[in-house]
Chains A and B, each alone.
Chain A
Amino acid sequence: MKISREDVLRVAELAYLDLSDAELETYRAQIDEILEYISKLNELDTSKVEPMAQVLADDQTADATLREDLIAPCAVAEDVLDHAPDPEPPYFRVPKVIDR
């Protein structure tokens, strides 16, 4: 077994994801099977291989430049707040975070 029920619980906690007991068991079994399959990568010796984080670093380095830091108008604040679950312009309201 690659992944235990406790592992799934720990990961769900890291990801702030509520899972029911039924979901926990289903995902544990399915992810176990997927990890088992993924372990075939261990057949490859990659000790001398550089990890590839993204495509462009390869041959398009010159293109992956940052744009100039210019000021441009972006007047979307009202729109954004209009569609927020609990807005109090200019803020998003959330449950109390800090206990006194």
Chain B
Amino acid sequence: MAAPWTIDGVKEALAAKKISARELLADFYRRIEARNAELNAYLALTPERARRQADRIDALVAAGSPLPPLAGVPVAIKDVISTRGTKTTCGSKILENYIPPYDATAVERLEAAGAVILGKTNCDEFAMGSSNENSAYGPVKNPLAVDRVPGGSSGGSAAVVAAGLAVASLGTDTGGSIRQPGSFCGIPAMMGSYGRVSRYGLIAFASSLDRIGPFASKVRDVGAVLQVIAGRDPQDSTSTTAPVPDYGAELGKPLKRPRLGIPKEYFAEGMEAGVRKKIEAGIALFRKLGCEVVDIRMPHTDFAIATYYIIATAEASSNLARYDGVRYGLRVADDSLLAMYRKTRGAGFGPEVKRRIVLGTYVLSAGYYDAYYLKGQKVRALIAQDFRDAFTKVDAILTPTSPVPPFKLGERTSDPLQMYLADIYTVTGSLAGVPGISVPCGKIEGTLPVGLQIFGPPFGETRVLQLAHAFENAGGPEV
């Protein structure tokens, strides 16, 4: 396969009139046509919208006008992010025919920056899952090994970039749903700090954890997409006014001998030997780059999964109460209103979503609230404190993204708890609200990709991107 398109590559080719935005778009739709039946990564394409946008960009080129930062760049959007006039199913039967009347802010900003939206990508139902096998529309295949999962829940958004079916994409991350599929598909993938990117138009799973973030084939492009979607949005009161730095300009600056922390608890047990070997080689590469690497302790790490699955399911049970067959989506008719609710929800939700609604309702219910939900919120505070303590000693934290490489389809579907436990390295940062990136860190036996995760302090996106970029340039993806 030829080297993948980059954002700068697209812009240069357009400016030099080597290709038009319309031709580039047609080329991507041809690739999608050839590969999507196998991968099942796109759920819907948006050719009319894409052509209108491509024509706008071509008109700018023809007029010699300055091109916006993502001019003509073909992008894909996870199907939990609202797109006006295009079905947004959340990978669920309950929203099979749902057409949002508005665009998410992140989508609006991408398009305002010149990006061309190709379509919507498959994902675990309501973003609940780590393998993309919980989609009501079938699993996505990993483009690097089609008998294996692409990771989840943003499996489609990771797969389309890895397969060259989009230059960049948006995913969402609640407990690892951007970083883990990025790791499994061998591409960089990032969640900014909680509050960095507006959630307006993101269909809610767990509101105190949900974040929108980018996938691309290079760290520089991850930064370029984040640049466009980040920043205050009056429609989301949790989006912050903290200024958005110029990530691209910062990437070129030399590293100032950063101190990187290796949390002992992340390297204790449960990590596959092949992953460990690559991560250790990755850490050695950071040393070679002049970073100081020190051991740190994050003593509450082992409690993160339990905490996460209380808080995430509690918030989900509340957020998903809105699917009742009244205003949108599926309705299963009945003479009684309550029976209509029960039947609609029983028929519309898949097994993982039902399991989480039951668990989340239970931990919030009278008599159990203090023992579970309140306890979870308190341990969340301890986990966040671990991160605050760590960042008084180090500039960033290095960990594996996942304890295992991409596994075979169907291999882990029978045991939900085992599936949850594999989220151990990603849920911590989700609970604490810090930014994190997964950057490719070699392949086990040359085939199965490993991801190295870099956590930074709140609003330390620049540092996270600088480190990932330096690692990528120094050959990190081939260690």
Contact = CB atoms under 8 A, between A and B. Distances in A.
Given A85-B331, A95-B337, 11 more contacts: A3-B362, A11-B358, A11-B365, A12-B358, A17-B342, A19-B358, A31-B362, A46-B382, A51-B380, A63-B242, A94-B337
A95 B358 CA distance: 26
A84 B328 contact: yes
B323 to A, nearest CB: 10
Interface in B8-65: none
A49 interface: yes
Interface string B338-371: 1011110111010100110111011001000000
A87 to B, nearest CB: 9
29 contacts: A15-B317, A15-B357, A16-B338, A17-B349, A18-B343, A27-B355, A31-B359, A40-B302, A41-B303, A41-B375, A49-B378, A51-B378, A51-B380, A52-B384, A56-B194, A56-B195, A59-B458, A60-B240, A60-B458, A62-B241, A64-B237, A65-B237, A66-B237, A83-B97, A85-B326, A85-B331, A92-B327, A95-B334, A95-B337
A23 B317 CA distance: 17
Interface in A1-23: 3, 7-8, 10-12, 14-19, 23
Interface of B: 97-99, 101-102, 194-195, 208, 232, 234, 237-238, 240-242, 300, 302-303, 305-307, 309-310, 317, 321, 324-331, 333-338, 340-343, 345-347, 349, 351, 354-355, 357-359, 361-362, 365, 372, 374-382, 384, 416-417, 420, 432-433, 458
A34 B101 contact: no
Q: Could you say which of B234, B347, B358, B382 has the most chain A C-beta atoms within 10 Å of its C-beta?
A: B358
Interface in A37-55: 37-38, 40-44, 46, 49-55
A35 B309 CA distance: 10
A62 B310 CA distance: 28
Given A46-B378, A83-B97, A53 B358 contact: no
A27 B237 CA distance: 36
B130 to A, nearest CB: 15
A41 to B, nearest CB: 5
B242 A34 contact: no
A80 interface: yes
Contacts of B417: 30, 33-34, 37
A71 B374 CA distance: 38
Interface string A58-96: 111011111100000000100110011110000010111
A51 B381 contact: yes
Nearest to A7: B362
Nearest to B300: A44
A95 B333 CA distance: 8
Given A38-B372, A85-B328, A51 B338 contact: no
B201 to A, nearest CB: 12
List 8 tightest A-B contacts by C-beta distance, closest first.
Answer: A18-B346, A55-B433, A51-B377, A85-B331, A79-B101, A63-B240, A52-B381, A46-B378
Contact of A86 (B234, B331, B432): B331
B374 A85 contact: no
Nearest to A46: B378
Contacts of A80: 101, 327-328
B384 A58 contact: yes
Contacts of B340: 94-95
B345 A16 contact: yes
